[in-house]
Structure 1
Amino acid sequence: MTLLAVERIKLFTTRSPWWCALLTLLITIGFAALIAGTTDSGVGTVASTQFGYSFGLAVIMVLAALAVTTEYRFGTIRTTFQAVPNRTSVLLAKAGVVGLLALVIGEIAAFGSLGISMIIQPEADMALNSTAEWINVVGIGPIYALTAIIGMSVGLLIRHSAGAISLLLIYTLAVESLVGLIPNVGADIQKWMPFHVAEKFLTGDGATRSGMGGPPLSTSPLSPGWALAYFAGFALLMLVIGIGTARKRDA
C-alpha cells in the first residue's frame, strides 16, 4: 500500500496526467456530441456514442508513457529505486496506479459520451438493453486500463518521451491499419493485431450498431470474451518485458 501511495502522489503532482485526462474526456465526449448532433434525429445507437473512444485511447497512451519517461528524464526513478531496491514491486505499483486512473477515465468518458448523446437525441433508443450494449460502454474502461499498461511498458523500454509517444501513436494510428494492405497475408495478420482484437471485444459482431456507420468492424475470429483475454495477455507480456528490461538497465 505504501508503494501505491507513493506512485499515486508522484503521478498526480505532475501536470501531464491532469491535462491528458481532461483532453481524453473532451475528445471522446465532444466527438459523441458531434456525431449525435449531425446525424438524423432518432438514428443514434449505443455504439454510435462510443465511436470516439479510439481518439481518447491515443491520449491514454501518452499519459501512460509520460508517467515513466518523465521520471527517467528528471532522475526521480533513480531515487525511487535507491529507496526500494525491488524494482519489480515499484513498477507493478506504478502500473496499478496508471491502469486504475485509465480505467476511471475510460468509464467517465464512455458514460459521458452516452449521456451527452441522450441529451442531444432524446428520441433515440440508447438504453443499455443487452449484454453487447453494456460491453460497448462499460468495456471502454478495461481497454483504456490495459492500453495504459502497454503505454507504460513501451515507456520502460524506450525511456524517452518523444520516442515512446511517437512509436505508440504510429503503431495504433497507422501500423495496424496498413498491415491489412499487405498482399496475400495482410488480412490474416491483422486479425491477431492487439488493438484490432480489442475492437472485437467492444463491438462483437456489430449488432449494436443497427445499421449505423462507423469504423470498420474487427475481423478477429475470437469471441468478445476471448478477445479481452487476448488483449490482456498482450498487455501483461509487454509489462513483463518492460519490467525485465528495467531491472537489467542502470536507472
Structure 2
Amino acid sequence: MTLLAVERIKLFSTRSPWWCMALAIALTVGMASLIAANTGDQFPLNVAVTQSFTDFGMVVIMVMAALAATTEYRFGTIRATFLAVPSRTGALVAKATVVALLAGVVGEVVAFGSWGISKLIKPNVDLAINSTAEWRNVAGTGLVFMIAALLAVAVGILIRQTAGAVAILLVYTMLVENLIGLIPTLGQKIQRWLPFMHANNFRTADGAPVTDGPGAGSQLDFPFGPWGSLAYFAAIGVGLLVVALVVAKRRDA
C-alpha cells in the first residue's frame, strides 16, 4: 500500500495527468454532444453512437500513462525510486496499478459522460441501456482504458523516451491496425488477432460497429466472443508489461 500511495503522489504532483484527463473528457464528451446535436432521421442517435469518440479519449489516456513512466527516466528520478525500493518490479507494478486504476475511472467518466450529455441534448430519443451489448459498450469502456494504460506504461518503460513512446502509441493506435486491413488477402486475417481490434470487439460485438479508431466499420471474423476478446486484450497488456519489467530489472536505470 505504501508503494501505491507513493506512486499516486508522484503521478498527481505533475500537471500532465490533470491536463490529459481534462483533455480526454472534454474531447470525448464534447464530440459526443456535437454528434448528438446533429443527429436526425438520416443519422439516428442510439447508445452506440454516443460512444463513437471514446477511442480518442483512450489515446489521450495512453499518452498520460506513457508519460508516467518516461518522465521519471527523463528527469532521472527513477534512480531515486530504485534506490528507495530495492525491488524494481514492485515499484513499477505499483506505478502501473495506479495509472491503470486512474485510467479505468476516466474511462467510465468518458463513457457515461458521453451518454449523459447525449441524453440531455436529445431527451426524446430512447437511449436506455438495456441489452448486454449496450452495457459493454458503455460500462466496458473503463476496462478497456485500464488495459490500454497498462500497455502504454509498458511501452514507456521499454522506450524510456517520451517522444518515442508517444509516437509509437499514436501511430499504432490511430494508423497501424487499420492500415493492416488494406493488405490484400492477409490483411483481415492479421487484424483479427490485433489487440485493439479485440478491445473494440469486446465493446461492440452483437451491437453497432465502431465508427472510429481501430476496427472502424469493420466486420472481422474474430476467434473469440466479446469476453474472450477482453481476456485476449488483457493477456497482451499484462504480457507486454511483464516483458517491460524483465527488461527494466536487467538494464541500468
| Unaligned residue ranges in structure 2 (runs of 5+) | none
Moved more, 223-232 or 180-189: 180-189
Deviation of the 1:154 alpha carbon? 0.3
Residue 131 of structure 1, CA deviation: 1.1
**Residue correspondence of structure 1 range 39-78 to structure 2 within 5 A:** 39-40=39-40, 43-78=44-79
Provide the secondary structure at the position in 2 that maps to 1:62: helix
Distance (Å, rounded) in 2 between the aligned partners of 1:239 and 1:43? 41
Q: Deviations over 1:37-88 (max 9, x none)?
A: 1111692111100000111111011000000000001111110100111011
Q: Distance in 1 between matches of 2:211 and 2:243?
A: 38
Secondary structure, aligned partner of 1:44: coil
Shift, 1:186, TM fit: 1.1
RMSD: 1.5
TM-score by length of 1: 0.95
Give the alignment partner of residue 222 of structure 1, picking from 211, 215, 224. Answer: 224
Residue 191 of structure 2 aligns to which amino acid in structure 1?
Q
Verify: 1:232 aligned to 2:243, yes or no: no
Aligned partner letter, 2:21: A
**Identity in percent:** 55
Distance 1:75 1:24, change over 3 A: same
Secondary structure of the residue aligned to 2:5 is helix
What is the aligned partner in structure 1 of residue 252 from structure 2?
Answer: 250
- Describe how 1:1-251 pairs up with structure 2 within 5 A: 1-40=1-40, 43-207=44-208, 215-219=216-220, 220-251=222-253
Q: Which ranges of structure 1 fall in alignment gaps of 5 or more residues?
A: none
Q: Provide the C-alpha distance between the structure 2 equivalents of 1:244 and 1:213, rounded to a whole number of angstroms.
A: 37
**Which one-letter code corresponds to 2:244 in the other structure?**
G
Q: CA shift at 1:181, angstroms?
A: 1.0
Shift of 1:218: 4.9
- Normalising by structure 2, we get a TM-score of 0.95
User: How many equivalent residue pairs?
Assistant: 248
Conserved? CA contact 1:194–1:230, under 8 Å: yes
Distance of 1:125 and 1:243 partners within structure 2: 47
